[in-house]
Amino acid sequence: MILPCIDLMDGKVVQLVQGREKALEGDAPLEMLRKFAAFPEIQVVDLDAALGRGENSALVKSLASMARCRVGGGVRTAERARRLVGQGAHRVVVGTAAFTPALAQIAEAVGPERVIIALDSKGGKVVVKGWQEATEFTAEHVITHLEPYCCGFLCTYVDKEGMLQGTDLDWFRRLRAATRHEITAAGGITTMEEIRELAALGVHAALGMAIYTGRLNLDELAALEREVS
């Protein structure tokens, strides 16, 4: 499955490089949703919530009411997870809270089948708090321990995020070997060949910068989505 990404900051659709520097702005959120209509699921991330500086809740609610969306960004409590599901989110993406006692509470509140755990790796270690803080864990080490609390993992190779330099397919091969849960790859995916290789591994692809810069064509991606789904 191919998942186009809508990342929200200050009410706008943006793309960041490695979670820090804003590289570009997209069209209005609902216009981007219209452009992505051919895809079965959209990934929506509230970057302001992830960075602890407010929320784009009205926009998230609007997007989730119009398409099947997995929503992340600042999902650190059971209350926020419940609220997002109540707003229409098909699934919630949990990052920082996956390494706190709140994870069990979130899974209990909305059900593990609605939880995707973000395992974002930079320099070989899982990073949290909007990718600002490194943990001592590797994704390969913790992934099996987190399986009871989720239905899948969103694994971002932060070292290449937003850089249009390709991703690390070997890392995704190791993750695929480590769990039977669903895996969605993100971070640096730039070519149709990479998406095909990921699909051959049974790994979904979440795409941002390559779509927004026109490096990947939406019509070609939609055709590939039909082919691999």
Give the β-pairing of 69-72 and 91-94.
Answer: parallel
Could you say which of 10, 27, 46, 120 is catalytic? 120
Cα separation, 168 vs 172, in Å, equals 7
Cα separation, 110 vs 159, in Å, equals 31
| Cα dihedral: 189, 159, 169, 177 (round 10) | -120
Could you say which of 7, 27, 48, 168 is catalytic? 7
- Helix (H/G/I), strand (E/B), else coil: 160: helix
Concerning whether 120 is annotated as a catalytic residue, the answer is yes
Residue 50 tokens read as 């992830």
State the helix-helix crossing angle for 78-86 and 57-66, rounded to 10 degrees: 50
Q: Which long-range contacts (CB under 8 A, 24 or more apart) does 128-132 make?
A: 128/95, 128/96, 128/99, 129/52, 129/96, 130/19, 130/47, 130/50, 130/51, 130/52, 131/18, 131/19, 131/20, 131/158, 132/19, 132/51
Concerning whether 7 is annotated as a catalytic residue, the answer is yes
Kindly list the catalytic residues.
7, 120
